[in-house]
Amino acid sequence: MKSINKIAILGVGFMGGSLALAIKRNFPGISVTGYVRSNSAYKRLSKLNIVNKVEKDLGKAVCGSDIVVLAAPIYSIIDYFKKIVPFLKQGAIVIDLGSTKELIERKAFKYLPKNTHFVGCHPLCGSDKSGAQFSTPSLYRGAICLVSTSGDKKNLQKVEFLWKKLGCKVILVNAKTHDKILSSVSHLVHLISFSLTGFVPKAYLKFAAASFRDLTRVSNSPAAVWTDILISNKNNVIRDSEKFIKILEKFKELIKKEKKEEIFKLITSINRKQKQIGILH
């Protein structure tokens, strides 16, 4: 990373803030600048000592940056592509932390200058918490980071090295495959959690035990982030929702007909599948 002297992070919330702390810990020679849009955010971030420098001026934050990190909701990332164009240095690498890749990648190649490089990234870590105050330098250690294969090889290798140095296991994947996989293992999961929390009457919540809390923990995830994720990956999410509804319908019919043996077999097969989760991780 000898050629990297300055990294700008646009969107210093939990993910962006944790990335800043991790970079400072693992690459002390790199200066990290955080961009904020308001006076109040400027004051808050300055007190937290997460980045080396806080900027309210987008041009000053981006100018001279070797890597620009877009750590924001998906449609904000796309807006940033257009806004940062005048300030990008030749050869700059732009990466994102977005939870969908196909739309972001398409817009990046549309708006970013030809003399810059885009590499889509998605570290599979996070929390239902949001805000820079919760940032931790260890967030990315041990996490899988999916990196899009569409970038040129030289800059792809630089980005891959960065994530590995931060403790991530890097997996290269194309954008279309990424969105299909994440729809099943993340986006649908959140949609189910939102739906379950929304379904249960408020008066019942005082009786909620550990199982309900486990299933609904992620329903506290930020609305701005998840609205963008669900819409930007809508085709995959709709398809997976329909498949999931079929499984619910199957359970419903078996329960309705009191098919005890078939319910037992179905749950048992799912038990076996669930045990694989621990083995794979």
Distance CA 124, CA 113 (A): 28
Q: Flag whether pLDDT at 280 surpasses 80.
A: no
Cα distances (angstroms) measured from residue 77 to each of 23, 69, 175, 252: 21, 10, 16, 41
Domains of the chain listed by start with CATH number? 6-173 (3.40.50.720), 239-281 (no CATH)
CA 174 to chain centre: 16
Q: How confident is the model at residue 276 (pLDDT cuts 50, 70, 90)?
A: confident
Residue 279 has what pLDDT?
58
pLDDT in tens, 94-113: 999 999 999 999 999 999 99
Q: What is the DSSP letter of 85?
A: G
Residue 153 has what pLDDT?
86
Q: Flag whether pLDDT at 128 surpasses 70.
A: no
Give me the mean pLDDT over the 120-137 stretch.
87
Give me the mean pLDDT over the 88-95 stretch.
97
Contacts of 104 (CB under 8 A, 6+ apart): 74, 77, 78, 96, 98, 120, 175, 232
- Would you say the C-alpha torsion 137, 8, 75, 111 has a positive or negative sign? negative
Residue 217 has what pLDDT?
93
Q: Flag whether pLDDT at 34 surpasses 60.
A: yes
Residue 260 near residue 130, CB atoms below 8 Å: no
Give me the mean pLDDT over the 231-254 stretch.
98
Q: How confident is the model at residue 24 (pLDDT cuts 50, 70, 90)?
A: very high
pLDDT in tens, 211-235: 999 999 999 998 999 999 999 999 9
What average pLDDT does the structure give for the chain? 94
Q: What is the pTM of this model?
A: 0.91
Residue 281 has what pLDDT?
54
